[in-house]
């Protein structure tokens, strides 16, 4: 793997940080385009997006540290080291939603409408970020004896390139959500909840091929437990909002 993507003089560009930054830039560019299309104030929306990203970074890092608590308790200062990787996307999603909702509430912006616009590009940005995981050598898959595999630095046996499979799946989710975004919408929150449901289902099954997560509950990883929770929360909210739409309350 290539945790250091390239160097300029003595300054190193780390793969994980580079692709994470690229994902954010791509999301911002598409968000600006969608704001123009939907007659939304980009500066206000970007402000909400900024706080959502900040909340996502904090939430993602916090969940990752919790998952790997025994490792970080030995070296607490490593918690602040972002360049080596170490983000749990589900924590980032939860942190981003909470921070984004608070920012939208303060600025009196339509939270669910913004979530619908952001959802496809959240999937696309996540796909780009997973390439950073692959280059960094984190979030690795199980050892394979037959089939396609990649050999991590310092290892002798190939592993499932799960990070790339994540990217492919997320790109497919992006195209589905983008198609929905460009079609008549059933209710505010429709596309975002479809993203939550799709991703939770996808993540649950992809976890069976990962080797970096320990089992915590009835043979499932923490990510699978969270995926079950977010899947049903998304489903319940979907039914609730669709019923409100039918009765004219959305």
User: Could you read off the pLDDT of 137-146 as tens digits, one per residue?
Assistant: 888 889 888 7
pTM of the model: 0.88
The alpha carbon of residue 62 and the mean position of all alpha carbons in its chain are separated, in whole angstroms, by 14
Per-residue pLDDT at 148: 81
Question: Residue 26 domain-assigned?
Answer: yes
State yes or no: 78 annotated in a binding site: no
Close Cβ partners of 75 (under 8 Å, ≥ 6 residues apart): none
Per-residue pLDDT at 82: 60
Per-residue pLDDT at 129: 93
Q: What's the domain count of the chain?
A: 1
Per-residue pLDDT at 100: 95
Per-residue pLDDT at 137: 84
The ranges of the chain with pLDDT < 50 are 246-250
> Sign of the CA dihedral 55, 58, 64, 69?
negative
> Sign of the CA dihedral 5, 203, 168, 53?
negative
The alpha carbon of residue 250 and the mean position of all alpha carbons in its chain are separated, in whole angstroms, by 27
Question: Residue 71 domain-assigned?
Answer: yes
Question: Residue 229 domain-assigned?
Answer: yes
128: nearest Cα among 10, 26, 237:
26
Domain that holds residue 126: 12-244
Cα diameter, the chain: 63
Report DSSP letters for 90-148, one per residue.
HHHHHHHHHHHHHHHHHHT--HHHHHHHHHHHHHHHHHHHHHHHHHHT-S-B-B-SSSS
Question: Residue 6 domain-assigned?
Answer: no
Q: What are phi and psi of 5, to 5 degrees?
A: -70, -50
Which residue reads 């950073």 in tokens? Answer: 132
């Amino acid at each position: 793997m290539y945790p250091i993507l390239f160097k300029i003089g003595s300054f190193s560009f780390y793969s994980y940080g580079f692709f994470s930054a690229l994902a954010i830039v791509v999301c911002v560019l598409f968000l600006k385009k969608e704001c123009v299309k939907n007659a939304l104030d980009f500066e206000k929306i970007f402000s909400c997006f900024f706080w959502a990203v900040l909340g996502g970074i904090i939430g993602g890092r916090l969940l990752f540290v919790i998952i790997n608590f025994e490792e970080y308790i030995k070296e607490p200062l490593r918690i602040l080291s972002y360049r080596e990787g170490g983000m749990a996307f589900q924590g980032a999603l939860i942190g981003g939603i909470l921070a984004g909702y608070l920012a939208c509430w303060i600025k009196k912006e339509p939270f669910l409408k913004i979530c619908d616009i952001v959802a496809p590009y959240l999937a696309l940005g996540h796909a780009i970020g997973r390439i950073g995981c692959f280059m960094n050598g984190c979030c690795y898959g199980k050892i394979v004896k037959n089939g396609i595999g990649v050999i991590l630095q310092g290892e002798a046996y190939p592993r499932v390139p799960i990070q790339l499979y994540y990217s492919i799946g997320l790109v497919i989710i992006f195209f589905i959500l983008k198609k929905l975004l460009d079609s008549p919408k059933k209710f505010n929150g429709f596309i975002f909840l479809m993203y939550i449901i799709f991703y939770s289902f996808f993540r649950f099954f992809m976890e069976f091929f990962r080797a970096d997560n320990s089992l915590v509950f009835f043979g499932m990883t923490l990510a699978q437990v969270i995926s079950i929770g977010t899947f049903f929360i998304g489903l319940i909210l979907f039914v609730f909002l669709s019923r409100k739409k039918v009765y004219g309350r959305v």
